[in-house]
Structure 1
Amino acid sequence: MMCLSNVWELKKLGLGHDVDLYVYEVPVEYQTVQSLVPSLWNQYHPQLVVHVGLSGMATTVTLEKCGHNYGYKGLDNCSFCPDSQCCIEGGPDCIDSVIDMDSVCKRVSASGLGVAVSVSKDAGRYLCDYTYYTSLYLSQGRSAFVHVPPLGKPYSGEDLGRALQAIVQAMLDLLAQSEDKIHCQHGH
């Protein structure tokens, strides 16, 4: 499940026969995020949700390590902002993804795709961060967020689609490895 129209390139490329990929565009609206993200989790019970957002400041494909609960002061596309300025009242200040973003970054950077990938600890305290935190909270950390630069600055939609494909495949591999370790530990 992802947001961003150029993610449809990833949909065309796919993630292999054993992965079901669902793509959704999430409006830049706090109240829609509050209802849509939980409904998608409840409908699909996914192994992993990867959100993708556009960052006008990004020059690399950026993997976000964590989501933040507080500090949402910017108005959304409906001129709305939560009175509490937070995602989940009483939730932790920050939630980390269970995905090791540094490992994903190293794997994808070493793959020779020709797309620069970096890691960040701050998704910006706007709808991207808000969506990410909400998803992390609902999933006990089984979510990820990727910021991409605008098309043509410097990457094409095809470049970004290939990069997202490599990133999501690396995330799924790492998730499978961690689950194998858990099953192995419980078996002894």
Structure 2
Amino acid sequence: MEKTNKNLIIVTGFGPFGSFEAVNPSWEAVKLLPDNLEFNKKQYKIEKLEVAVEYAAVDKSVEEIWSRNPILVIHCGVNSGTSCISVEKLAYNNYFVGKDVAGCTLQNDSACLKNNKNERIYTGLDVNKIVKTIEKCHCKSAEAAALSSGNPGNYLCGYIYLKSLDINQNRSLFLHVPEIDQPYTSQEVSDMILNIVQECVRQIEENGV
């Protein structure tokens, strides 16, 4: 792989699907992120990408994203069963049984990976520190604003995370966001994602990965 683009951050959200056919909360939050970030006296460019809820679209997007060698890639998806941001620690390569929005499934219910044969791949980022960062800044009630999670799901959320982790687990992360106004607005979720971006960049720069 070529030298890392130290100034490029890419954040993705998913397009419409299922009960979120009109609006996907993940993309609504991601698209509100600023185009540029100044952090620790360095300038970063944040590119936002909407990914269709299709296995083929994920394959193409992940390949194109990593061909540009960004310093950080964060994927976001919606989880209607949560009221906070779930910071995912890992992804599993099994049980991708659901049809995507194009009606396609994966052969053998698993992903074709280039670099890993393991059934699970963990992010190299410190999820606990990421969660603590959000709790300090965004807790608006007795309920947590962010939690660590080990269940990215067996649909496109888990799939896109697995594909990125296979390429670079030290610079990949997945976030599940709640539905809009449950209890956070899209702007509030976007602000939390931005704080997560900052913490991830801090970790990557500190660890030199």
Q: TM-score, normalised by structure 2?
A: 0.80
Question: Quick check: 1:49 aligned with 2:78?
Answer: no
Which structure 2 residue ranges, 5 or more long, are not aligned?
A: 1-9, 14-25
Of 79, 94, 103 in structure 2, the residue corresponding to residue 70 of structure 1 is: 94
Aligned positions of 1:1-188 closer than 5 A:
1=10, 2-3=12-13, 4-6=26-28, 7-11=30-34, 14-16=36-38, 18-42=43-67, 44-88=68-112, 91-112=117-138, 114=140, 116-179=145-208
The alignment-based identity, stated in percent, is 26
1:15 maps to a residue whose letter is: L
4+ residue runs over 6 A deviation: none
Which structure 1 residue ranges, 5 or more long, are not aligned?
A: 183-188
Deviates more, 1:44-53 or 1:84-93: 84-93
With a CA cutoff of 8 Å and minimum separation of 6, indicate the structure with the bigger relative contact order.
1
C-alpha distance in structure 1 between counterparts of 2:138 and 2:110, whole Å:
39
Q: Which has the higher helix share?
A: 1
C-alpha distance in structure 2 between counterparts of 1:91 and 1:71, whole Å:
15
Instruction: Give the conservation status (yes or no) of the 8 Å contact 2:138–2:145.
Output: no
CA root-mean-square deviation: 1.7
Instruction: Give the conservation status (yes or no) of the 8 Å contact 1:95–1:141.
Output: no
> What CA deviation, in whole Å up to 9, does each residue of 1:18-56 have, x standing for no partner?
1111110011101111122112211x2101100011111
C-alpha distance in structure 2 between counterparts of 1:148 and 1:27, whole Å:
17
Give the secondary structure class of the aligned counterpart of 1:146.
Answer: strand
Q: TM-score, normalised by structure 1?
A: 0.88
Q: Which has the higher strand share?
A: 2
Alpha-carbon deviation of 1:112? 4.4
Instruction: Give the conservation status (yes or no) of the 8 Å contact 1:10–1:161.
Output: yes
C-alpha distance in structure 1 between counterparts of 2:61 and 2:117, whole Å:
19
C-alpha distance in structure 2 between counterparts of 1:68 and 1:15, whole Å:
32
